[in-house]
Amino acid sequence: MPSRIFVTGLGFISGMGSNVQENLTSLLNLRSAIGPIRHIETNLKDELAVSEVLMTNEELMKYAGLQNTEVYTRNTLLGIVAANEAFSHACLNNHPGIRIGLISGTTVGGMDECEKYYQDFLTNDSKNSFISTYDCADSTEKIADNLGLKGFMTTISTACSSAANSIMFASRLMKAGKLDCAIAGGTESLTKFHLNGFNALKILDKQPCRPFDATRNGINLGEGAAYLVMETEETNKKTGNTVICELVGYGNACEAFHQTASSPDGTGAYLAMKKALDMSGETPDTVDYINAHGTGTDNNDLSEGRAIEKLFTGKVPYVSSTKPFTGHMTSAAGSAEAIISILGLQNGIIWPNMNFSNPMPELQFRPAGEMIRSVNMKVVMSNSFGFGGNDSSLIFKKHGIH
């Protein structure tokens, strides 16, 4: 059975940019995408800071080269843009004989359109076409159709760990010999339901978020999509695609401590990271950087911080949360932050934990406050933790390093 999984393609759209290069440029220039709400008509429009993709749905359709013959939600459009980029990056059109799967994570599905019409649905069915887009799988099917994929596809919805779990599941399918190659990640658009739900939990910050800061006050939501193309080592010999890095470890733990909160001692986060580390064959002292889940909430940052200190006893590697750049992309966060971690690995850069200034008294380590360049990086970890304690960690390694 295949044992090694290589990353050979990346696709990424967020408030920072419409492709991988634009996102990288924003990161390098410390350009945050967090700002006022533009697209959503909501009572919270003047209250909350979010990260929105600047293009309208019509502009996204044009950018993706789509015709107005299908009903596309914003969630689907974002996914198509990012998946297309990843697919093209890996030149998969040139290799029709390989078994390609699509594993996509999302939670809001078609809420962005359906929520506009549900109140008058029973008396006015003129917007009926959008009801069929409500299901989360609708975006996955349309992404696959756009890419011409006819094989295995599935949708994963585990809240904020969805995209990370999609990457993990894709790797397991390839290692089991079910697929030769997979496009895995997630897509999520902002919706009123989204905003109101998190606002009801009282965990949204009206100012730019400050993960791991003693004054942290919550999340800034974000939207976008990100996908990775992954191939088995055997498939890569056939495609000849350039290997970006290797997925060497992953772990998931569902602690079920609370519907929305992590356990105070970080049990789930610790187990997820420990499982990923054990699979990778690495040791705590060989991990160069952790892209933390780091939402900026009181609960998450303390829980995750304690878990990191427990696993990396005595020597915590560089740690930062990149959510002050992108906002919290919820179901797409895992793949977006995996790509950001991989870009750091490629370029020898530790991304800064922007807006950090006041250390948390409960933690010994401090996140990276500034960008650090020219770092000899070999191994990076990316954490994604979802509601219900569904916690996942991914470990990527520079190709050719033993």
* List of E strands, 276-361: 289-291, 318-320
Residue-level pLDDT at 257:
63
Tens-digit pLDDT profile for residues 194-207: 898 888 888 999 99
Nearest to 157 by CA among 395, 394, 393, 390: 390
| Sheet arrangement for strand 153-156 | 153-156, 100-105, 181-188, 224-232, 5-14, 245-254, 390-397, 379-386, 289-291, 318-320
For 141, half-sphere exposure in the C-beta direction (CA atoms, 13 angstrom radius) is 13
Pairing verdict, β 318-320 and 100-105: unpaired
CA distances from 309 to 33, 63, 77, 397 (A): 30, 44, 40, 22
| Domain 5-239 CATH (choose: 3.40.47.10, 3.90.79.10, 3.40.309.10, 1.10.10.10) | 3.40.47.10
Q: pTM for the complete prediction? A: 0.95
CA 349 to chain CA mean position, Å = 19
pLDDT at 126: 63
Pair type for strands 390-397 and 245-254: antiparallel
CB–CB of 87/102 below 8 Å?
no
Q: How far apart are the first and last CA of the chain?
A: 21
- With bands split at pLDDT 50, 70 and 90, how would you rate the model's confidence at 260? low
- Give start and end residues of each alpha helix (H) in 132-266: 137-147, 162-175, 192-200, 233-239
What local confidence, expressed as pLDDT, does residue 142 receive? 96
Q: Which 3 state secondary structure label does DSSP give 376?
A: coil
The yes-or-no answer to whether 5-239 and 249-397 have a common fold is yes
Residue ranges of the domains in the chain? 5-239, 249-397
For the cut 90, the answer to whether the pLDDT of residue 324 exceeds it is: yes
Closest to 281 (Cα-Cα) out of 120, 397, 161:
397
Rg, C-alpha atoms of the chain? 20
Six-digit token string for 13? 């759209």
Residue 321 CB contacts under 8 Å (≥ 6 apart), including other chains: 211, 212, 291, 292, 293, 294, 295, 296, 353, 367
* Residue 254: pLDDT band with limits 50, 70, 90: confident
What is the rounded distance in angstroms from the CA atom of residue 108 to the CA atom of residue 96? 32
Residue 200 dihedral angles phi and psi, to the nearest 5°: -65, -30
Give the residue numbers annotated as catalytic, written as ranges. 160, 293, 328
Structure tokens at 291: 């892209």
Residues 95-138: pLDDT tens digits?
Answer: 778 999 999 999 988 888 777 776 666 666 665 667 778 788 89
3-state secondary structure (DSSP) of residue 162? helix
Q: Return the CATH class of domain 249-397.
A: alpha beta
